[in-house]
A and B are shown apart, each in its own frame.
Chain A
Amino acid sequence: MNLTAEQITFGVFAIPLVITAAGVVVARSPMYAAMSLVAAFFFMAGIYVLLSAHLIAFMQILVYAGAVMVLFLFVIMLLSLGSEHLEHEKQKAIQLLGVGGAVTLVALVALAAREVMNVDSAVVPADFGTVKAVGRALFTQYLLPFEATSLLLLVAIVGAVVVAKEKI
């Protein structure tokens, strides 16, 4: 089986991505889980670049690895959970049942993914996924959802302050 350079690059990003994503679940300390997730987001951005989604890859690092994970780390440090908060309780049967369901879901999607294997990818223009192309779509076809997003973020900011503040 001859692998092209693109397929090797996919493996270089995909294998550490799965390992670091598993690290989020395996880690007992929230801090280790958060650092593992930051690494996973960086590898995910590499996968996005392979899909010629340059703007989304950039936003992945800027918003997820930058803003959201810093928020997570701040909260983890703010709560300063001691070692007694580490996971040590027994798993319930319903949880193990859920894990079985998750594995079945992955297997079903893998079976379905084989069906789309033969479809050829479209030939995309050179500026596909760049700031210019995505920006043009966002500000013409998706203008209303885009403006609604700004409203959503405003509501989220106000809501977060109201919920987290001790006394208003």
Chain B
Amino acid sequence: MVPVSWYLLLAAILFGIGLVGVLTKRNALIVMMCVELMLNAANLTFLAFARQQGSIGGHAIAFFVIAVAAAEAAVGLAIIIAIFRTRGTVNMDEVRELRDEI
């Protein structure tokens, strides 16, 4: 029997890796991949607790998370393509039109 804390620790590590990627990488594609990693870590937590509590609700939530992640990937990649078409870059530091001048 694997303790549920092992799964939670694994999910925390994966979420941390994804968060580090989102904060340090500047390529918008890699940032989106790291967001997918963080969504997967959240899914793992849901499923670990669903197994522990014997509740099927966690599986339903994980199902919806997967659907939302697919929608997010489709729209996000479309936005990246649109940005690349108008600016010729996918570097997030160079896309700063909305940034307030300090």
Contacts and interface: CB of A to CB of B under 8 A. Distances in A.
Contacts of A134: 56, 59-60, 63
A71 B63 contact: no
Contacts of A52: 51
B41 to A, nearest CB: 9
A30 B27 contact: yes
Contacts, number: 239
Nearest to B40: A44
How many interface residues does chain B have, given as a range? 35 or more
B102 interface: no
Interface of A: 4, 6-7, 10, 14, 17-18, 21-22, 24-25, 27, 30, 33-34, 37, 40-41, 44, 47-48, 50-53, 55-56, 59-60, 63-64, 67-68, 71-72, 75-76, 78-79, 81, 85, 87, 89, 91, 95, 98-99, 102-103, 105-106, 109-110, 112-114, 116-117, 119, 121-124, 128-129, 133-134, 137-138, 141-142, 145-146, 149, 152-153, 155-157, 159-161, 163-164, 166
13 contacts: A7-B2, A7-B6, A10-B2, A18-B10, A21-B13, A21-B17, A27-B30, A33-B33, A44-B44, A56-B43, A85-B90, A133-B59, A153-B70
